[in-house]
Amino acid sequence: MAFLVKKYGGTSVGTVERIQHVARSLKEARDAGDDIVVVVSAMSGETNRLVALAKAVQPAVVDVRELDVLLSTGEQVTIALLSMALKELGVDACSYTGAQVKILTDDSHSKARILSIDTKPIMKDIEAGKVVVVAGFQGVDESGDITTLGRGGSDTSAVALAAALKCDECQIFTDVDGVYTTDPRVEGRARRLDRITFEEMLEMASLGSKVLQIRAVEFAGKYNVPLRVLSSFKPGEGTLITYDDEEDSMEQALVSGIAFNRDEAQITVAGVADTPGTAFAILGPISDLNVEVDMIIQNVGADDTTDFTFTVHRDEYKRVIDFLNSKKAELGAKSISGNDRIAKLSIVGVGMRSHAGIASKMFRRLSESGINMRLITTSEIKISVVIDEKYLELGVRALHEEFELAGDEAEKD
């Protein structure tokens, strides 16, 4: 018997049949004695459909207040239908919008942050034996306006509820059955991980494994809410995301996963003065353009000049190159160059903290595969390299093998 938050994403509640399927799984858990708060997304495609409707009416502006009123209806449909489906099965249930709970947020429409959650109405229902069904992705601000938490925000709703209610676990049901050692579409031998730490998950997520919203993982880490990713379609244990467990670290794999990101572009500003303020002169205005910079590398200066290289999202590449070219004289740069056909390849693992030689193992294997590394950055639990995009699949598979990440038994269905 446990107190659980179970969150179902859009595909899991995408049709009436799927909603009924979710209701049956919930009934099973309820019959087994679990206390359950369910958080649901809008039916798949619904939020996009609503966004398109808004665009059709207001093509030039985004009225975020009205957009939030509109988008929150998607989840409101699902909570009502799921509660009805539960009642059809004889399970006592009750639905709540974010405002009804209430999930109080700040007033940043379309990207609101949760400030507090009133747990009293939920606890009252739970004590009365009901399954409580809460709309994800939405809240209400101090003045009573409906807010939304940003795309994918139902994950955050679920984690926040689990934290506020002090649940045993927050279970995220989705269309994959867990977190994998790498993307199974690139490496067929990728293996589902039984466990991963919050830190590792954050690195994997920020590197493009889109299983969970990053904010939700951060939130779960901050409030120490055990998070489990499971499939709504295929029974299994999924992947548990928790803190690093000291006892387990003896058996810990050096590397837990291979992550990658194709969305990057690299830019080099060559021959700038090697003096205080140069990095700021280049990156300050880029941050003013609202462009996020990822990796940053400055060469050791020679002849009082240095080269400065960084990566940005590929969509921003042209804008940043044009901007820097317009500032070339001002920056005193010899040249501005770049490449938008690169990819970032990373190994992630808390095991790296206590083991030396992992970087050299990675570099040796990549060199044996004939892959040139253009940039390298490291953190305590991650080593990232930038390579030519055309070698990405090769690199992922080589490192997956090098760090022995494939399962012993082929766990394929």
The residues that touch Mg ion, with contacts defined as CB under 5 A, are 9, 41, 152
Closer to Mg ion by Cβ: residue 173 or 317: 173
95-103, 145-153, 167-175, 178-186 -> range binding ligand ASP (CB under 6 A):
145-153
Cβ closer to ligand ASP: 153 or 395?
A: 153
Site string for ligand ASP, 100-139 (x = CB under 6 A): ------------------------------------xx--
What end-to-end distance do the CA atoms of the chain give, in Å?
30
The stretch near ligand ASP (CB under 6 A) out of 40-48, 120-128, 255-263, 284-292 is 40-48
Torsion angle of the four alpha carbons 318, 324, 328, 330, in this order, in degrees rounded to the nearest 10: 160
Q: Which is nearer to ligand ASP, 150 or 301 (CB)?
A: 150
Site for ligand ASP contains 221 (CB under 6 A): no
Q: Does 72 bind ligand ASP (CB under 6 A)?
A: no
Checking phi first, is residue 244 left (phi over 0); if not, alpha (psi -120 to 50) or beta? beta
**b or e along 23-37 (b: 16 or more beta carbons within 10 Å of the residue's beta carbon)?**
beebbebbeeebbbb
Q: Which of 14, 152, 338, 395 binds ligand ASP (CB under 6 A)?
A: 152
Summarize the chain as % helix, strand, coil (round to 5): 40, 25, 35
Minimum distance, C-beta of residue 70 to ligand ASP, in the bound complex (Å): 12
Place of tokens 């009293």: 120
In the bound state with ligand ASP, the residue whose beta carbon lies nearer, of 103 and 371, is 103
Among 105, 147, 154, 268, binds ligand ASP (CB under 6 A): 154
Q: Which residues contact 35 (CB under 8 A, 6 or more apart)?
A: 1, 2, 3, 4, 126
Distance between CA 338 and CA 318 in Å, rounded? 10
Q: Are strands 239-242 and 227-231 parallel, antiparallel or unpaired?
A: antiparallel
Could you tell me the two tokens for 274? 């090697």
CB of 328 to ligand ASP, least distance (A): 40
Please state the closest distance from residue 345 (CB atom) to Mg ion, in A.
Answer: 26
Q: How far is the CB of 56 from ligand ASP (least distance, A)?
A: 18
At residue 380, φ and ψ (nearest 5 deg) are -55, -35
**Interface contacts to ligand ASP, rule CB under 6 A:** 9-10, 41-42, 47, 74, 136-137, 151-154
